[in-house]
């Protein structure tokens, strides 16, 4: 029972990071968040990505992951 739960959690994390890599070309959640914010900004993506990397540089990985989920939720509901 516990082994199945551990395997399921590892599978879920693997799917999450594989999705990040396929969608953003990054595994790090903070860099993926910078790419996501740059794509959604009004500035050209190449210029905005520099500024969003600076903005997300001081964030922790859990905070970046939470912001990424919020961004995805806004995209789905907006």
Gap between the Cα atoms of 68 and 47, Å rounded: 20
CA distances 23 to 1, 14, 57, Å, are 33, 14, 20
Token pair for residue 15?
A: 């799917």
Tell me if 26 sits within 8 A of 35, measured CB to CB: yes
Tell me if 37 sits within 8 A of 52, measured CB to CB: yes
Tell me if 32 sits within 8 A of 49, measured CB to CB: no
Tens digit of each residue's pLDDT (9 = 90 or more) over 2-36: 999 999 999 998 998 888 899 898 888 899 999 99
Tens digit of each residue's pLDDT (9 = 90 or more) over 50-70: 999 999 989 999 999 899 999
* Model pTM score: 0.77
Identify the pLDDT of residue 6. 95
């Amino acid at each position: 029972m516990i082994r199945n739960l551990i395997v399921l959690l590892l599978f879920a994390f693997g799917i999450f990071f594989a999705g990040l890599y396929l969608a953003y070309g990054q595994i790090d959640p903070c860099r993926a968040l910078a790419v996501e914010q740059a794509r959604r900004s009004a500035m050209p993506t190449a210029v905005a990505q520099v500024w969003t990397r600076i903005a997300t540089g001081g964030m922790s990985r859990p905070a970046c992951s939470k912001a990424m989920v919020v961004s995805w939720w806004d995209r789905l509901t907006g």
